[in-house]
Structure 1
Amino acid sequence: MILPRPPSLTEEQLRRYHLQKAEELFEGSIDRMRPEAKAAFMALCNCHKEKEDVNDPLFGCGPLLGIVNTNGLSLDGLRPGMPDETKTYSVVCKHISRLNHSCSPNTMPQFDDPSFSCRLYAVRDIAVGEELTYNYISTDDVLLPAAARQAVLQSAYNFVCSCPACEDPSTSNPCRAAIAVFAAAYPREPQLTVDAFSFLDDTRLAACRKQAALIEREGLEHLPVYFSVLKMLVEASLARGDVDSAFTSAQKLDKSHWISACDALQDNPLWRAVVDTIIPNFQAHRRTTRG
């Protein structure tokens, strides 16, 4: 929203003017909601109401703007090819917005364009009675040391996280530091060819396996780096003709629907060569392995 700047306003007055206009804009939208939807929205948490921090850019904001900024999920690329395609939007969900944060979340929200709604995916097996959580902060911030994550959460949401990773930082911090280094060093989409049998030497292959184990131990399966590691393990295993290892990683990769809906083997450029030249009974093996 671009507003004209009234003359003779100080920077603080201008900030409050913009907050007021944003609140008025939300009022128009909220008033058009069905009564039950409006009641559900107004019952959401507003962390800005409790904050008395003059450094908070939303200090003094109205209740509607506070609720949106507390509960909104960031959404990029909503209008590809349009003049505003680089804009970031905010999605407030009736149920997902009520989930608590964890630095080791067991779910991942993802916006679905065709249905114009958010879907919630389990990033790993969830036990009966286990609380559903997702990560409020960025994928970079969640790999920071516990004290730094707490500072981000305190500033943005005004609460102290008590997830396992924050309760035991002496164990968690080194693991997350190693994952961050690995994530920065390896591309998300490694490009392979049918002849790339030396894609990963034994040392780097062992490093990928170690990273996958670290990510799973830290409960960070929602991160893109987990998808990258599994994809590299699938492709390296296919290039080497190691069917069992390829299936083990592919089964995990196929569950990562919040990142890709592709079939980890069917849509892989290497798999047909493996099927035709190495594994004549590939489909039978796959059915047996996948149950």
Structure 2
Amino acid sequence: MIYIDPPLWPAHNTHFSHLVSDTSLEELHAFADAAGISRRAFDQDHYDVPAHRHADLVAGGATAVDGAALVRVLIASGLRIPARERAASLVHPLRQRWEALLPGAPELGVELLNRWGEPHRRYHDRRHLLQVLEALHRLDCEDRPVLLAAWFHDAVYDGVPGADEEASAALAEQLLPATGAGSSDVAETARLVRLTVGHDPDPGDGRGALLCDADLAVLGREPGGYDRYAADIRLEYRHIDDASFRSGRSAVLAALLGRERLFHTRRGEEMWGSRARSNLRRELTALSRSGPLRIQPASPDGEAGIPGA
């Protein structure tokens, strides 16, 4: 069922309601499409709809509930996105991490956080930055060039694989020297950023293995988290038609599955390898189905213009 709460949330000279499903994002998108609600109004687990639409959405089948009941419905559905996975809520904890990594360079930290917060990003945003940094922590990485490379690796993101990584590496080469970072750290940071084009470091490249594994750790998330990642990737490439996206994305996933080692560190393979392969196979199956391409989160039980990871 579809639920809507009262229009109590002020913004843009009106008030907004939240529109949610207790079943799936597929059901929610279908209802919104039929009601003529733009996909731009979708915010990860709900639609924001202006006050003047409340009555006609109820007439169209949405069940009116109060705000507390709507939150309970969303939590029970398993579709709710936790606050830590909302990019806007991560500025303060990320700023603290930056200041611990490179004290005395707060302006650069602010610039990078602004870049990671650009509105066109749906997956490669501050959530992804935090996830990579947390994955490096789980890999026991305290190496400064690797951590700096994590901050810079998608600092430029226009959805152009290869060009984005090159521009991000060049940005590190341009901005890091002014912070007092040594030339060797700057060069190594840029080299590591460039490795994220193919996530294929040479044997013995320990730093490269750490960064590439952390960048791909999302593949080993629990099924619901992986499906949110896949849906966000589709939204970042919403300018590409379904057929082209299916073809390109399927090729990327098949190439990842064809690797002898998906993760280059033993710990990364142990933590994420088995679940990552299961997720990749499941997404490939979803991509092989006909019909509109909408990837919805799993139940709680349970790149040439086309995105890689």
Do they superpose with TM above 0.5?
A: no
Which is higher, the Rg of structure 1 or of structure 2?
1
Alignment TM-score, normalising by the size of structure 2: 0.25
Specify which structure has the higher proportion of helix: 2
**Higher RCO, 1 vs 2 (CA within 8 Å, ≥6 residues apart):** 2
